[in-house]
Structure 1
Amino acid sequence: MGEVSFLRPERRRSRTEAASADVLGDLLRRVARGDEQAFESLYDAVVGPVYGVVLRVLRDPAQSEEVVQEVLVEVWRQAPRYDPSRGTARGWVLTVAHRRAVDRVRSAQASTDREDKVASRDTARPFDVVSEEVEHRLETEQVRRALDVLTDLQRESVELAYFGGYTHRQVSDILGVPLGTVKTRLRDGLIRLRDEMGVVA
């Protein structure tokens, strides 16, 4: 009887996950070189998890399907930018998916905001509407600039946890890093954001 049959379930699982991560990383490296067959295999391996991440953000199956296609096109184009030293291939792909989904939400919200502004132009207090809009834009720009001071790893964790609504455990799973690492990135990222935005603790 071989040694493998005596492995505890969690050890077998961790070895399987490691092998799977290696396979995805190898596929992504081949995709970066323009290997279409590797892309088909990668597509089959990640399309389900990508759809799950996108649907969680958008909550609309039809829109989610559209965004999944955009994500996979972006994965094909951006594969050379994947750096295995900064996380797993699965984590990288799911981060791309989450960002695309958030972009779609922001775009839809911006469109809704524009429509609301047009509808509210005839309100009795137009000055308040304009001042609120300016204030909102300034705050949004301040947050965007503040996020730019974070490292890529901190920004990924912060975006997933605070803009995507994921738990620390889910962020850990998506990025393929230990839970303790995620908590450290979030803590350090939030401290830097606070300092950058001049928030008094």
Structure 2
Amino acid sequence: MLHGPSTEDARQRLVLALGRVADGERDALRTVYDLTSAKLFGVTLRILNDEAEAEDVLQDVFVTVWNRASGFDPARASPITWLCTLARNRAIDRLRALRHHRAGTDLEAADEVADEAPDALSQLEADGEARRLAGCLDGLEPRAAQAIRAAFFGGRTYEDLAQGAGVPLGTMKSVIRRGLIRLKGCLEE
């Protein structure tokens, strides 16, 4: 994560632009798009692994931003966190729909997609827990910490992580499960 005046300036520009979008200003939506579309496209593409689908989801995200900008609260989350959460959730929904369509059942597809409650990272930030979470993640075995970050904050599926690491899916699930148990214990201290 970048820190410094330029990052804070960009954050403030996004907060102001989202406020203007909530007031119905179309040029403000263009500002939000210009500042964030590349990152949000990366989030959707990483999850969907299909450019056309990622572009469709990105369009849906910006329609949602236009319709729900008034729901953004800078006191609860950074604007990029809010936008990335929207993009991630939309991409996962699309992935589930695609797998359901291809496989004929959404139960099988749901098992393969990493799940996260909406706005979990936003809630952590709002509660001042982000630094604590980062510290606990840093205390985990590096392989587990990396897998948890990639699955829960990067939108990667367990299957994708297992393939990338060259290990069986069950092994990756075990690594993540043990890491989550240790993470929970650290956060409860």
Aligned partners of 1:24 and 1:42 also within 8 Å: yes
CA gap of 1:79–1:159, structure 2 versus 1, over 3 A, is: farther
CA RMSD of aligned residues (A): 4.0
Q: Which has the larger radius of gyration?
A: 1
- Alignment-mate amino acid for residue 96 of structure 1: L
1:42 is aligned with what amino acid? Answer: V
Structure 2 distance, partners of 1:88, 1:28, is 11
Which residue of 2, 9, 20 corresponds with 1:19?
9
Shift of 1:165: 2.5
Aligned residue for 1:164, secondary structure, equals coil
CA distance in 1, matches of 2:121, 2:51: 33
Rounded to whole Å, the distance in 2 between the matches of 1:112 and 1:80 is 36
Q: CA deviation at 1:111?
A: 1.3
Q: Give yes or no for contact 1:98–1:160 (8 Å, CA) kept in 2.
A: no
Count of matched residue positions in the alignment of Structure 1 and Structure 2: 138
User: Aligned equivalents of 1:62 and 1:54: distance in 2?
Assistant: 10
Contact 2:40 2:83 in 1 (8 A): yes
Q: Distance in 1 between matches of 2:55 and 2:25?
A: 24
CA distance in structure 2 between the partners assigned to 1:34 and 1:159 by the alignment: 35
Q: Which residue does 1:29 correspond to in 2?
A: 19
The 8 Å contact of residues 11 and 78 in structure 2, kept in 1 or not, is answered as yes
Q: 5+ residue gaps in structure 2?
A: 125-129, 131-147, 158-181
What residue in structure 2 maps to residue 165 of structure 1?
156
CA distance in 1, matches of 2:183, 2:102: 33
Moved over 4 A (4+): 157-160
How far is the alpha carbon of 1:62 from its aligned partner? 1.1
For residues 130-169 of structure 1, the aligned pairs below 5 Å read 147=117, 153=123, 161-162=151-152, 164-165=155-156
Give the distance between the partners of 2:39 and 2:8, measured in 1 at CA: 17
Amino acid paired to 1:28: L
Partners of 2:77 and 2:122 within 8 A in 1: no
* Structure 1 unaligned regions, length at least 5: 1-9, 118-132, 167-185, 193-201
The equivalent residue for 1:43 is 33
Partner secondary structure for residue 49 of structure 1:
helix
Equivalent in 78, 101, 125 of residue 111 of structure 1: 101
> Cα offset for 1:18?
0.5
Shift of 1:160: 7.3
Residue of structure 1 equivalent to 2:85: 95
Structure 2 length-normalised TM:
0.59
Please give the alpha-carbon distance, in whole angstroms, between the structure 2 residues aligned to 1:70 and 1:47.
Answer: 12
